């Protein structure tokens, strides 16, 4: 079997204790659009929509930060060699936190989840925001992707 027979990129979205109504199909479509725009077609991505207690536990266990957060990104160590796509990693989004942030930013929940999805995917692709040049590069890529979905990020 070759990559030609696989519809790429592959995106899996699951909901675990997400609490609020979010259509995983919409999140999947948006993730595919982000990956294609970033020319990361030959990839596989997993997205988990969850609640604050779950992301709090993950944040504590994997980052040593004992509080919930909005998004976490877990890169996978995959070479992408062979008939399967490159396993990019996992993005975990707290729907609870996204809902609060959406309300504060006067935007729809799906838009806030998209902002967080973009942030997580950019981290998986090697972007970071520890230094000023990194922040500028990541902000530029983020802004370009936000425009795809007509998301107002003026408050960010």
Mind listing the pLDDT tens digit of every residue in the chain (156 residues)? 444 555 689 999 999 877 667 899 999 999 999 999 999 988 999 999 999 999 999 999 999 999 999 999 999 965 555 556 688 999 999 999 999 999 998 899 999 999 999 999 999 999 999 999 999 999 999 999 999 999 987 755
Residue 100 lies in a domain: no
H or E element in which residue 93 lies: strand 86-94
Q: Is residue 18 part of a domain?
A: yes
Name the domain count of the chain: 1
pTM: 0.90
Q: How much is the pLDDT for 79?
A: 55
Enclosing domain of residue 83:
3-94+106-148
The CATH number covering residue 83 comes to 3.40.390.30
111 in a structural domain: yes
Contact residues for 58 (Cβ-Cβ < 8 A; gap 6+): 72, 92
Q: Which helix (H) or strand (E) holds 69?
A: none
Burial 24-47 (b: 16+ CB within 10 A, else e): eeebbebbbbbbeebebebbbbbb
Q: Is residue 120 part of a domain?
A: yes
Classify residue 119 as exposed, middle or buried by CB count within 10 Å of its CB (0-12, 13-18, 19+). Answer: buried
User: 99 lies in a domain?
Assistant: no
Whether residue 133 is contained in a domain is answered as yes
């Amino acid at each position: 079997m070759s990559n030609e027979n696989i519809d790429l990129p592959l995106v899996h979205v699951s909901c675990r204790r997400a609490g609020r109504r979010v259509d995983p199909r919409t999140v999947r479509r948006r993730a595919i659009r982000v990956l294609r725009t970033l020319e990361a077609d030959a990839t596989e991505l997993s997205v988990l929509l969850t609640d604050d207690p779950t992301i709090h536990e993950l944040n504590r266990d994997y980052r040593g930060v004992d509080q919930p957060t909005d998004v976490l990104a877990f890169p996978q160590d995959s070479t992408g060699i062979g008939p399967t796509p490159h396993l990019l990693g996992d993005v975990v989004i707290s729907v609870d936190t996204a809902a609060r942030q959406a309300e504060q930013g006067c935007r729809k929940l799906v838009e806030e989840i998209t902002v967080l999805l973009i942030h997580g995917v950019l981290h998986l692709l090697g972007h970071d925001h520890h230094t000023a040049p990194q922040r500028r590069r990541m902000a530029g890529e983020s802004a370009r992707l936000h425009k795809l979905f007509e998301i107002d990020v003026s408050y960010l």
